[in-house]
Amino acid sequence: MFHENDYATYKIVEGIVHVIYKNIDLDISQAVHIVKDRLLLQAGQFMPVLCDIRAIQGIDKASRAYLSLEGSAFVKAVAFVVDSPVSEMLSDLYLSTNSPPIPTRSFSNSEEALKFLNGFR
């Protein structure tokens, strides 16, 4: 399964949702749209989610709060893929200030992130 919008691409591979964010400065309206599209793709199934946030340029406080609560719906665990100082800082800020209610970790590559998520399939 595959879906794409102006903000991200989505696919389900072996029971894991892959959300690859595009080059955006994430605001609340975009965050709502991203979550809505992910939920449509999952069709009510709980799944782990890999979020590749390497292209995100920034994210506002309202978006972080929305993604940590409403964005956790039907999610078993989240793995962020980061590489640049910006994406790493965004991940650290999200994890330290929003306390997501599900297991959430950051990784420097997709392989390690998938190893973590495989335990939640």
Average pLDDT score over the chain: 91
Q: How many residues does the chain have?
A: 121
Whether the CB-CB separation of 91 and 82 falls below 8 Å is answered with yes
Q: In terms of pLDDT, which residue wins out, 114 or 84?
A: 114
Residue 69 belongs to what domain range? 2-118
Cβ-Cβ contacts under 8 Å for 68 (sequence gap 6 or more): 94, 98, 99, 100, 101
pTM of the model: 0.90
80-111 pLDDT, tens per residue? 999 877 777 777 777 677 677 899 998 999 99
The tally of domains found in the chain comes to 1
What are the distances in angstroms from CA 106 to CA 9, 17, 41, 88, 100? 19, 16, 23, 8, 13
Tell me the CATH number at 94.
3.30.750.24
Q: Which two tokens stand for residue 38?
A: 């992910």
